[in-house]
Amino acid sequence: MTDIHHAAAEGFSHQAAAYARGRPEYPEEIGAWLRDTLGLGPGRTVIDLGAGTGKFTRRLVATGATVIAVEPVAEMRAELSAALPAVRAVEGTAESIPLPDASVDAVVCAQAFHWFANEQAMAEIRRVLRPGGKFGLVWNVRDESLGWVAKLTVIMTPHEGDAPRFHKGDWKRVFPADGFGPLAMQSLPYTHVGPPQQVIMDRVMSVSFIAALPPAQRDGVAAQVQALIDSDPALAGQAEVAFPYRTEAYACERVG
């Protein structure tokens, strides 16, 4: 199997439970996008590529399509299978998908494509898609126009290292991709509401490159985040907070 980035392998294995707790869900409107743009519904088959703990897998299941989750990190797959036992979950990577040629109607990557945005992955995705099949990319992007959200980014950024990130934009270099039509984007607002320990602390600590830090450094990040929660006027003393995102959904079609 193709190696995966150390930050993903280590961070996601260490913090699979925090990921399941702290990562935001997706706006209800994503269901219409899956149906109308990707064509998902009963009788269709879709791969959730880099499925993680199954956060987005639930959305795919709700379309009525047959869902196959592909995830390389065993701890993440275990969380997914515990939550969604009816979904077939297989070990694999974007560069090595354990399915036959032209066997699925869609491939979707939620919060994951920046980890494997390369020509080998695109060729493999093209291989498993039927002609006319759809490739979908989804990210929840933090809304940094809110002051405390921007402060979280300041806390996290020094630890990024060489970890691939959506915001760096490197993933866009593979498009336009051989065998695929143009990429179209839809943006949807979303707010993750809940206790600050869940929607802020678990969210930050589940970030791959934070979770992969040595324990002392990881504890230092947690202390900075807790200090922000305790001191920022918008957060201090709040039993429930609203973390704003925008959900960016991209799609293209396998042609030829």
pTM: 0.84
pLDDT value of position 211: 87
CATH at residue 23: 3.40.50.150
Contact 204, 155 (CB under 8 A): yes
Question: Can you give the pLDDT at residue 1?
Answer: 37
Nearest to residue 212, comparing CAs of 163, 164, 149?
163
Range of the domain at 186: 6-144+162-192+244-253
Q: What is the pLDDT of residue 17?
A: 64
User: What three-state secondary structure class fits 242?
Assistant: strand
The residue type at 43: G
Ranges assigned E (strand) in the chain: 45-49, 66-70, 88-90, 104-110, 129-142, 184-194, 241-253
| pLDDT tens readout for residues 227-246 | 999 999 999 999 999 999 99
Q: Would you state the pLDDT for residue 208?
A: 81
Counting the structural domains of the chain, the total is 1
Residues of the chain with pLDDT under 50: 1-2, 4, 7-9, 11-14
Q: pLDDT by residue (tens digit) across 47-61?
A: 999 999 898 999 999
Q: Is residue 92 part of a domain?
A: yes
